[in-house]
Amino acid sequence: MIHLEHVYKSFGKQEVLHDICLDIQDGEVVGLLGPNGAGKSTLMKIMLGLWKADSGVVEVPSTHGYLPELNPLYDYMFVREYLAFMLRVESSKCKEDSKKRPLGYSSKSIVEEMIERVGLTPMANKRIGELSKGYRQRVGLAQAMMGDPELLILDEPTTGLDPNQLSEIREVIGSRGERKKEEGRRIEEGGQITILSTHILQEVEQMCSRIIILDEGRIKWDSTQSTIHNPQSTLEDIFRQVTNYGK
Protein backbone atom coordinates (compact mmCIF):
# COMPACT_ATOMS: atom_id res chain seq x y z
CA MET A 1 0.00 0.00 0.00
CA ILE A 2 0.91 3.68 -0.15
CA HIS A 3 1.10 5.62 3.10
CA LEU A 4 1.83 9.35 3.15
CA GLU A 5 1.71 11.23 6.43
CA HIS A 6 2.14 15.01 6.82
CA VAL A 7 4.16 15.36 3.62
CA TYR A 8 5.44 18.82 2.72
CA LYS A 9 7.43 19.97 -0.30
CA SER A 10 8.67 23.43 -1.27
CA PHE A 11 10.86 24.86 -3.99
CA GLY A 12 12.53 27.94 -2.59
CA LYS A 13 9.81 30.01 -0.95
CA GLN A 14 7.02 28.37 -2.90
CA GLU A 15 5.19 25.63 -1.02
CA VAL A 16 4.03 22.99 -3.53
CA LEU A 17 2.61 20.31 -1.20
CA HIS A 18 1.04 21.10 2.16
CA ASP A 19 0.38 18.45 4.83
CA ILE A 20 -0.49 15.58 2.48
CA CYS A 21 -1.95 12.60 4.36
CA LEU A 22 -2.99 9.68 2.19
CA ASP A 23 -3.44 5.91 2.23
CA ILE A 24 -4.00 3.91 -0.96
CA GLN A 25 -4.69 0.18 -0.75
CA ASP A 26 -3.64 -2.63 -3.08
CA GLY A 27 -6.00 -3.03 -6.01
CA GLU A 28 -7.14 0.60 -6.16
CA VAL A 29 -7.22 2.54 -9.43
CA VAL A 30 -6.99 6.17 -8.34
CA GLY A 31 -7.72 9.23 -10.45
CA LEU A 32 -5.55 12.21 -9.49
CA LEU A 33 -7.12 15.49 -10.58
CA GLY A 34 -6.29 19.14 -10.17
CA PRO A 35 -5.70 22.40 -12.07
CA ASN A 36 -2.29 23.18 -13.52
CA GLY A 37 0.13 23.90 -10.69
CA ALA A 38 -1.92 22.00 -8.12
CA GLY A 39 1.02 19.77 -7.15
CA LYS A 40 0.08 16.57 -8.98
CA SER A 41 3.42 16.05 -10.71
CA THR A 42 5.35 16.77 -7.52
CA LEU A 43 3.25 14.28 -5.57
CA MET A 44 3.72 11.59 -8.22
CA LYS A 45 7.50 12.11 -8.35
CA ILE A 46 7.72 11.83 -4.58
CA MET A 47 5.80 8.54 -4.73
CA LEU A 48 8.22 7.31 -7.40
CA GLY A 49 11.24 8.33 -5.33
CA LEU A 50 12.43 10.81 -7.97
CA TRP A 51 12.14 13.68 -5.50
CA LYS A 52 12.34 13.69 -1.71
CA ALA A 53 9.75 15.29 0.54
CA ASP A 54 10.99 18.08 2.79
CA SER A 55 9.31 16.37 5.73
CA GLY A 56 6.77 13.67 6.52
CA VAL A 57 6.44 9.92 6.09
CA VAL A 58 6.49 8.36 2.59
CA GLU A 59 5.90 4.60 2.31
CA VAL A 60 5.37 3.18 -1.18
CA PRO A 61 5.70 -0.23 -2.92
CA SER A 62 9.18 -1.29 -3.97
CA THR A 63 8.51 -1.75 -7.71
CA HIS A 64 7.30 1.15 -9.86
CA GLY A 65 6.21 1.80 -13.41
CA TYR A 66 5.88 5.32 -14.80
CA LEU A 67 4.48 6.78 -18.02
CA PRO A 68 5.30 10.53 -18.09
CA GLU A 69 3.17 13.02 -19.99
CA LEU A 70 6.00 13.63 -22.45
CA ASN A 71 6.78 10.05 -23.40
CA PRO A 72 10.52 9.76 -24.23
CA LEU A 73 11.24 7.03 -26.78
CA TYR A 74 14.12 6.04 -29.08
CA ASP A 75 12.63 6.65 -32.52
CA TYR A 76 15.32 4.70 -34.38
CA MET A 77 14.61 1.44 -32.50
CA PHE A 78 12.04 -1.19 -33.47
CA VAL A 79 9.17 -1.67 -31.01
CA ARG A 80 10.14 -5.21 -29.98
CA GLU A 81 13.82 -4.25 -29.83
CA TYR A 82 13.08 -1.22 -27.66
CA LEU A 83 10.97 -3.12 -25.13
CA ALA A 84 13.59 -5.86 -24.87
CA PHE A 85 16.25 -3.20 -24.31
CA MET A 86 14.24 -1.48 -21.59
CA LEU A 87 13.68 -4.83 -19.89
CA ARG A 88 17.46 -5.33 -19.77
CA VAL A 89 17.89 -1.82 -18.34
CA GLU A 90 15.61 -2.84 -15.48
CA SER A 91 18.01 -5.69 -14.70
CA SER A 92 17.61 -5.68 -10.95
CA LYS A 93 13.83 -5.78 -11.27
CA CYS A 94 14.09 -8.61 -13.79
CA LYS A 95 16.25 -10.67 -11.43
CA GLU A 96 13.70 -10.33 -8.66
CA ASP A 97 10.85 -11.04 -11.05
CA SER A 98 12.56 -14.16 -12.41
CA LYS A 99 12.35 -15.76 -8.96
CA LYS A 100 8.57 -15.56 -9.14
CA ARG A 101 8.26 -16.97 -12.65
CA PRO A 102 8.64 -20.60 -13.70
CA LEU A 103 11.63 -21.86 -15.63
CA GLY A 104 11.27 -21.09 -19.31
CA TYR A 105 9.47 -17.80 -18.72
CA SER A 106 12.10 -15.77 -20.54
CA SER A 107 12.63 -12.08 -21.13
CA LYS A 108 11.35 -12.71 -24.65
CA SER A 109 8.12 -14.09 -23.19
CA ILE A 110 7.71 -10.99 -21.01
CA VAL A 111 8.16 -8.68 -24.01
CA GLU A 112 5.72 -10.64 -26.17
CA GLU A 113 3.17 -10.62 -23.35
CA MET A 114 3.33 -6.84 -23.06
CA ILE A 115 3.11 -6.35 -26.83
CA GLU A 116 -0.07 -8.40 -26.87
CA ARG A 117 -1.58 -6.80 -23.76
CA VAL A 118 -1.39 -3.25 -25.11
CA GLY A 119 -2.31 -4.12 -28.70
CA LEU A 120 1.08 -3.56 -30.33
CA THR A 121 1.28 -6.84 -32.24
CA PRO A 122 0.73 -5.28 -35.72
CA MET A 123 3.46 -2.70 -35.01
CA ALA A 124 6.01 -4.87 -33.21
CA ASN A 125 8.45 -4.95 -36.14
CA LYS A 126 8.20 -1.26 -37.02
CA ARG A 127 10.49 1.55 -35.93
CA ILE A 128 9.05 3.71 -33.17
CA GLY A 129 9.60 6.81 -35.32
CA GLU A 130 7.11 5.42 -37.85
CA LEU A 131 4.30 5.04 -35.33
CA SER A 132 1.29 7.29 -34.79
CA LYS A 133 0.99 9.18 -31.52
CA GLY A 134 -1.52 6.64 -30.22
CA TYR A 135 0.80 3.69 -30.84
CA ARG A 136 3.70 5.58 -29.30
CA GLN A 137 1.59 5.91 -26.16
CA ARG A 138 1.07 2.16 -26.20
CA VAL A 139 4.83 1.60 -26.36
CA GLY A 140 5.28 3.85 -23.32
CA LEU A 141 2.49 2.05 -21.48
CA ALA A 142 4.02 -1.34 -22.27
CA GLN A 143 7.36 -0.15 -20.92
CA ALA A 144 5.76 1.20 -17.73
CA MET A 145 3.84 -2.03 -17.11
CA MET A 146 6.82 -4.30 -17.78
CA GLY A 147 7.18 -6.85 -14.98
CA ASP A 148 3.81 -5.97 -13.40
CA PRO A 149 5.06 -3.27 -10.99
CA GLU A 150 3.24 -2.93 -7.69
CA LEU A 151 2.77 0.80 -8.34
CA LEU A 152 1.94 2.15 -11.79
CA ILE A 153 1.72 5.92 -12.30
CA LEU A 154 0.32 7.20 -15.59
CA ASP A 155 0.47 10.89 -16.46
CA GLU A 156 -2.04 11.73 -19.23
CA PRO A 157 -1.87 8.16 -20.68
CA THR A 158 -4.69 8.51 -23.22
CA THR A 159 -3.29 11.53 -25.06
CA GLY A 160 -3.55 11.03 -28.82
CA LEU A 161 -5.64 7.86 -28.76
CA ASP A 162 -8.64 7.38 -31.02
CA PRO A 163 -11.97 6.06 -29.57
CA ASN A 164 -11.15 2.40 -30.31
CA GLN A 165 -7.70 2.71 -28.77
CA LEU A 166 -9.17 4.47 -25.73
CA SER A 167 -11.48 1.54 -25.08
CA GLU A 168 -8.62 -0.95 -25.32
CA ILE A 169 -6.29 1.04 -23.07
CA ARG A 170 -9.04 1.54 -20.48
CA GLU A 171 -9.46 -2.22 -20.34
CA VAL A 172 -5.72 -2.75 -19.90
CA ILE A 173 -5.48 -0.18 -17.09
CA GLY A 174 -8.63 -1.37 -15.35
CA SER A 175 -7.55 -5.01 -15.40
CA ARG A 176 -4.53 -4.24 -13.21
CA GLY A 177 -6.72 -3.57 -10.21
CA GLU A 178 -7.72 -7.19 -9.85
CA ARG A 179 -4.77 -9.40 -10.70
CA LYS A 180 -5.89 -13.02 -10.75
CA LYS A 181 -3.92 -16.15 -10.00
CA GLU A 182 -3.09 -18.20 -13.07
CA GLU A 183 -1.27 -21.49 -13.37
CA GLY A 184 2.33 -21.06 -14.48
CA ARG A 185 2.27 -17.30 -13.96
CA ARG A 186 3.28 -14.89 -11.24
CA ILE A 187 1.23 -15.62 -8.12
CA GLU A 188 0.75 -13.05 -5.38
CA GLU A 189 -1.91 -12.04 -2.89
CA GLY A 190 -3.60 -8.67 -3.27
CA GLY A 191 -3.62 -6.35 -6.23
CA GLN A 192 -1.64 -3.51 -7.69
CA ILE A 193 -1.99 0.23 -7.33
CA THR A 194 -2.59 2.38 -10.39
CA ILE A 195 -2.58 6.18 -10.21
CA LEU A 196 -3.96 8.00 -13.23
CA SER A 197 -3.38 11.74 -13.62
CA THR A 198 -5.46 13.37 -16.32
CA HIS A 199 -7.45 16.50 -17.19
CA ILE A 200 -10.19 14.40 -18.81
CA LEU A 201 -12.88 13.87 -16.18
CA GLN A 202 -14.63 11.26 -18.31
CA GLU A 203 -11.50 9.10 -18.25
CA VAL A 204 -11.46 9.15 -14.46
CA GLU A 205 -15.13 8.26 -14.25
CA GLN A 206 -14.68 5.28 -16.57
CA MET A 207 -11.40 3.87 -15.22
CA CYS A 208 -11.01 4.80 -11.56
CA SER A 209 -12.56 3.48 -8.36
CA ARG A 210 -11.37 6.45 -6.29
CA ILE A 211 -10.83 10.13 -7.01
CA ILE A 212 -8.42 12.55 -5.34
CA ILE A 213 -8.50 16.26 -6.18
CA LEU A 214 -5.51 18.48 -5.42
CA ASP A 215 -5.48 22.26 -5.45
CA GLU A 216 -2.79 24.63 -4.24
CA GLY A 217 -0.83 21.69 -2.86
CA ARG A 218 -3.65 20.43 -0.65
CA ILE A 219 -6.02 17.49 -0.93
CA LYS A 220 -9.42 19.09 -1.43
CA TRP A 221 -11.41 15.93 -2.21
CA ASP A 222 -10.83 12.23 -1.64
CA SER A 223 -13.67 9.84 -2.24
CA THR A 224 -14.82 6.71 -4.03
CA GLN A 225 -16.86 6.85 -7.22
CA SER A 226 -20.04 5.71 -5.44
CA THR A 227 -20.28 8.95 -3.46
CA ILE A 228 -20.08 11.09 -6.59
CA HIS A 229 -22.73 9.53 -8.77
CA ASN A 230 -25.94 11.06 -7.47
CA PRO A 231 -28.53 13.38 -9.01
CA GLN A 232 -27.29 16.41 -7.06
CA SER A 233 -23.70 16.53 -8.30
CA THR A 234 -21.32 15.46 -11.03
CA LEU A 235 -17.55 15.11 -10.96
CA GLU A 236 -17.27 18.38 -12.90
CA ASP A 237 -19.47 20.14 -10.31
CA ILE A 238 -17.34 18.83 -7.45
CA PHE A 239 -14.11 19.76 -9.22
CA ARG A 240 -15.27 23.36 -9.64
CA GLN A 241 -16.56 23.58 -6.06
CA VAL A 242 -13.40 22.39 -4.32
CA THR A 243 -10.76 24.09 -6.52
CA ASN A 244 -10.09 27.62 -7.68
CA TYR A 245 -10.55 26.50 -11.29
CA GLY A 246 -12.48 29.14 -13.22
CA LYS A 247 -12.72 31.51 -10.24
Per-residue pLDDT in tens (0 to 9) along the chain, 247 residues: 899 999 999 999 999 999 999 999 988 889 999 888 899 999 999 999 999 999 999 999 988 899 988 888 999 999 999 999 988 887 555 455 444 444 344 677 889 988 988 889 999 999 999 998 888 888 998 999 887 889 999 998 876 677 777 777 777 776 665 544 343 344 344 468 999 998 778 778 878 889 999 999 999 999 876 555 554 567 777 777 788 665 5
Rounded distance between C-alpha atoms, residue 19 and residue 64, angstroms? 24
Strands 64-67 and 29-33: unpaired
Global model pTM greater than 0.85: no
Is the CB of residue 67 less than 8 Å from the CB of residue 140? yes
Task: Name the helix (H) or strand (E) containing 211.
Answer: strand 210-215
